[in-house]
């Protein structure tokens, strides 16, 4: 993955950081609408669910928008029919489904023109032909299908994969195969897919310097200055007994010299203080005091996750040879510690999720790594290193020395007595004045210097945020992610069938299940299912002789398949099929509410082996904070993983063994009377699995 601040450096594509974190980002418009959304906007959300691989949710929403808002068009009819048929076999359609299918086709007949009407008409002809008798109706349906534009053909192939069979499936797949190969890697997939797993970047927060805990008042500066001035007057009056001119000169030299020494000495002390403060941050991570946005809602895993991000980001900046690598980690220890603490104070305490500031971690790691390579990481040592002896400071010392010389030259008993009084006044007055200057004037200077550095850092973060936001501008939507996944599954099915030398005429049906691959990252649009950077895909090919099962790892960015494993077993080897739920049922005194947090699909074989598909869990902070319905999200996970489509078939096989084939045909004959769905008839049912 190339990120905007790395100037072309390739990031590690096998990251495990975030594998347990559900990243959310702001493509909420894909699945969410405002309370005032029009029926057309609500319908578009339903279409997005369908194209994203969640036909169950699409059916529910289209049904609602049709019955509640009387929305009617050829497009509505097309997607309504498609959602009813998607991911189902003909035998799996119930009476309500068939009724909705009839109504959808009737609606299309009211708008008999345009591409959507042609799509609906083709759907109706195909379904009727698949249940018809003889080759002519099917030939007509396939010819009608071939005349559709590619987008509609792809919709039908994708959503009717469990309805199409035999010659029809072979013809349709061969017609679309070349274009599917192109589409799988199209739309700049390898570059854009990794962006889906990046959260919306949090806005940079500026640090503001705040005063130290020591009270800063004018009293030490004014009191010390007045005491030193009084001492100069006392000493000058003693010298005045010998010479009034000498007294004036001594006073002026003492006042001017003390001012120069205190002023330039304070500057020197301030530089030393600033340097020591930067040194403490550089070596130990001790930061200068600052004010942040505050807050006390630190997410539970924020600190640990930031630690992982920091380790990964700095690992990408480390040199290749071991001695230099050790030096790099040693030199950046304090800055890494300070960066972690800053992110906790500025973002974590406000409840910002860790993945939203991941970009900031990499930005600072790249900046620090670049400075380390250039040898400028400790520039503060030179910037705040005071000059050996500034001319003004040396001039002040010379003035004090000359004043002392004049005092010695005009020394008398009176001068000696007054010197005893004036010397402590000059010493302590000057000391108090310098301390007051450091406390009051120095704090103001420190705040100004710190704020200048904080502003420079914040401006750099703003620029990095702009680059990062621009880089994410073409991040794919969930609909695109679902489309790429469906293309991958269709491609993989054809490849496996080629390896087994099977055609669709040899298949009774096929099932595709997906789960998150180990070490993968996951992300989701609000309201949608989780998508993963890598999947474990389980493909079941059901033939007359038994089941061929293939397990493989799919890389989402590239579409590459790896680590393939194959298993074959008979139908009577399937012992049981179930979906286990882990959740919590709450009782509010009226109605109980079940919150499903984890689901596992389990296919148990009679020999003791089992096949598991772990579905996405929703015991994540991102769910609760958005008040999303966990039960609805669990249904989305079932749809997105393919379990919804597979469960009914595998449950029937577990109950009936090989007899499920004949029983399935009988169920189909009973469930679809000749009066349903236009020209659909019972003829030829024995040829439909």
Q: Which of 154-158, 292-296, 536-540 has the lowest mean pLDDT?
A: 292-296
Supply 417's token pair: 């007595």
Q: What does the pLDDT read at residue 621?
A: 47
Is the confidence at residue 566, as pLDDT, over 50? yes
Instruction: Output the pLDDT for position 11.
Output: 35
User: Which pLDDT belongs to residue 552?
Assistant: 95
* DSSP-assigned letters across all residues of 227-251: HHHHHHHHHHHHHHTT-HHHHHHHH
The per-residue pLDDT of the chain, averaged, comes to 79
Q: Is the pLDDT assigned to residue 58 strictly greater than 70?
A: yes
* Residue 333 pLDDT level (bands cut at 50, 70, 90): very high
- What is the C-alpha separation between 435 and 217, in angstroms, rounded? 11
**Across the beta sheet with 561-569, what order do the strands follow?**
507-516, 534-543, 546-555, 561-569
| Predicted confidence (pLDDT) per residue in 384-419, tens digit | 776 666 777 667 667 767 777 776 667 666 666 766
Backbone angles phi, psi at 523, to 5 degrees: -155, 165
Per-residue pLDDT at 574 exceeds 60: yes
pLDDT band at 27 (very low <50, low <70, confident <90, very high): low
Distance of CA 132 to the CA centre of its chain: 50
Angle between helix axes 302-317 and 322-331 (nearest 10 degrees) is 140
pLDDT for residue 301: 85
Q: How confident is the model at residue 316 (pLDDT cuts 50, 70, 90)?
A: very high
Which percentage of the chain shows pLDDT scores above 70? 75
Give the span between the Cα atoms of 159 and 78, in whole angstroms. Answer: 12
Question: Which spans in 86-134 are helix H?
Answer: 95-109, 114-130
Note the pLDDT of residue 669: 64
Query: What mean pLDDT is predicted for residues 202-218?
Result: 75
**DSSP per-residue string spanning 13-50:** TT--TTTT-EEEES-GGGT---TT--HHHHHHHHHHHH
Cα 218 from chain centre: 51
d(CA 402, CA 158): 98
* Rounded CA separation 496/499 (Å): 5
pLDDT at 128: 82
Rounded average pLDDT over 84-95: 82
pTM of the predicted model as reported, rounded to 2 decimal places: 0.77
The stretch 497-512 carries a mean pLDDT of 88
Residue matched to tokens 């009774």: 508
Kindly state the average pLDDT of the residues 519-545.
89
Contact between 238 and 251 under an 8 Å Cβ cutoff? The reply is: no
Of the two residues 631 and 123, the one the predictor is more confident about is: 123
Q: Are 122 and 141 in contact (CB under 8 A)?
A: yes
What is the predicted pLDDT for the residue at 620?
A: 56
Do 509 and 664 meet the contact criterion of CB atoms below 8 Å apart? no
pLDDT (tens digit, 9 = 90+) per residue, 346-392? 998 888 888 899 999 999 999 999 999 998 888 888 877 766 667 77
Q: Compute the average pLDDT of residues 494-521.
A: 89
Which of 16-30, 117-131, 386-400, 518-532 shows the lowest per-residue confidence on average (mean pLDDT)?
16-30
Taking each helix axis from N to C end, the angle separating 135-146 and 166-184, rounded to the nearest 10 degrees, works out to 20
pLDDT score, position 420: 67
**Angle separating helix axes 358-374 and 442-471, nearest 10 degrees:** 110
pLDDT at 641: 86
Residue range 88-110: average pLDDT?
A: 86
């Amino acid at each position: 993955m190339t990120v905007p601040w790395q100037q072309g450096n390739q990031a590690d594509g096998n990251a495990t950081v975030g594998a347990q974190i559900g990243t959310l980002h702001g493509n909420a418009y894909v699945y969410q609408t405002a309370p005032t959304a029009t029926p057309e906007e609500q319908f578009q959300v339903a279409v997005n669910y369908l194209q994203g691989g969640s036909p169950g949710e699409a059916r529910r929403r289209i049904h609602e928008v049709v019955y509640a808002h009387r929305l009617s068009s050829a497009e509505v009819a097309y997607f309504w029919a498609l959602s009813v048929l998607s991911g189902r076999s003909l035998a799996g359609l119930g009476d309500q489904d068939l009724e909705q299918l009839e109504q959808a086709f009737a609606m299309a007949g009211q708008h008999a023109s345009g591409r959507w009407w042609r799509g609906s008409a083709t759907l109706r002809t195909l379904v009727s032909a698949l249940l018809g008798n003889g080759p002519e109706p099917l030939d007509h349906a396939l010819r009608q299908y071939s005349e559709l534009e590619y987008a509609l053909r792809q919709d039908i192939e994708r959503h009717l994969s469990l309805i199409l069979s035999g010659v029809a499936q072979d013809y349709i797949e061969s017609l679309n195969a070349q274009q599917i190969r192109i589409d799988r890697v199209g739309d700049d997939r390898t570059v854009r897919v990794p962006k889906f797993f990046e959260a919306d970047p949090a806005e940079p927060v500026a640090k503001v310097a705040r005063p130290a805990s020591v009270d800063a008042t004018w009293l030490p500066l004014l009191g010390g200055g007045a005491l030193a001035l009084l001492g100069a007057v006392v000493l000058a009056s003693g010298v005045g007994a010998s010479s009034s001119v000498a007294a004036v000169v001594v006073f002026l030299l003492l006042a001017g010299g003390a001012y120069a020494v205190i002023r330039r000495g304070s500057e020197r002390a301030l530089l030393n203080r600033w340097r020591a403060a930067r040194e403490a941050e550089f070596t130990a991570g001790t930061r200068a005091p600052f004010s942040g946005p505050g807050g006390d809602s630190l997410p539970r895993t924020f600190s640990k996750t930031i630690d992982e991000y920091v380790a990964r980001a700095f690992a990408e900046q480390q040199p290749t040879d071991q001695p230099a690598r050790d030096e790099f980690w040693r030199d950046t220890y304090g800055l890494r510690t300070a960066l972690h603490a800053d992110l906790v104070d500025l973002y974590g305490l406000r409840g910002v999720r860790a993945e939203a500031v991941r970009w900031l971690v990499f930005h600072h790691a790249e900046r620090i790594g670049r400075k380390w390579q250039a040898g400028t990481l400790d520039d503060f040592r030179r910037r705040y290193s005071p000059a050996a002896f500034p001319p003004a400071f040396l001039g002040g010392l010379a003035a004090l020395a000359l004043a002392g010389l004049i005092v010695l030259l005009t020394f008398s008993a009176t001068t000696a007595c007054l010197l005893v009084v004036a010397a402590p006044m000059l010493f302590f007055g000057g000391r108090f004045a310098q301390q007051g200057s450091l406390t009051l004037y120095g704090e103001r200077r420190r705040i100004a210097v710190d704020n200048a550095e904080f502003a420079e850092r914040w401006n750099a973060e703003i620029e990095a945020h702009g680059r990062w936001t621009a880089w994410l501008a073409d991040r794919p939507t969930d609909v695109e992610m679902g489309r790429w996944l469906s293309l991958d599954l269709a491609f993989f099915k054809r490849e496996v069938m080629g390896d087994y030398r099977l055609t669709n005429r040899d298949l009774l049906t096929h099932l595709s299940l997906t789960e998150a691959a180990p070490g993968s990252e996951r992300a989701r649009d609000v309201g949608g299912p989780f998508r993963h950077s890598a999947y474990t895909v389980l493909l079941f090919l059901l033939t007359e002789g038994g089941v061929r099962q293939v397990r493989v790892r799919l890389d989402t960015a590239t579409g590459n398949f790896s680590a393939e494993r194959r298993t074959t077993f008979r139908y009577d080897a399937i012992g049981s099929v179930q979906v286990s739920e882990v959740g919590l049922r709450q009782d509010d005194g009226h109605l109980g509410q079940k919150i499903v947090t984890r689901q596992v699909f389990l296919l148990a074989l009679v020999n003791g082996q089992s096949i598991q598909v772990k579905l996405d869990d929703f015991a994540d902070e991102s769910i609760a904070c958005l008040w999303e319905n966990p039960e609805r999200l669990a249904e989305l996970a079932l749809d997105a993983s393919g379990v919804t489509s597979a469960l009914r078939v595998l449950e029937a096989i577990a109950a009936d063994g090989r007899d499920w084939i004949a029983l399935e045909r009988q169920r189909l004959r009973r469930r679809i009377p000749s009066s349903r769905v236009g020209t659909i008839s019972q003829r030829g049912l024995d040829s439909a699995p």
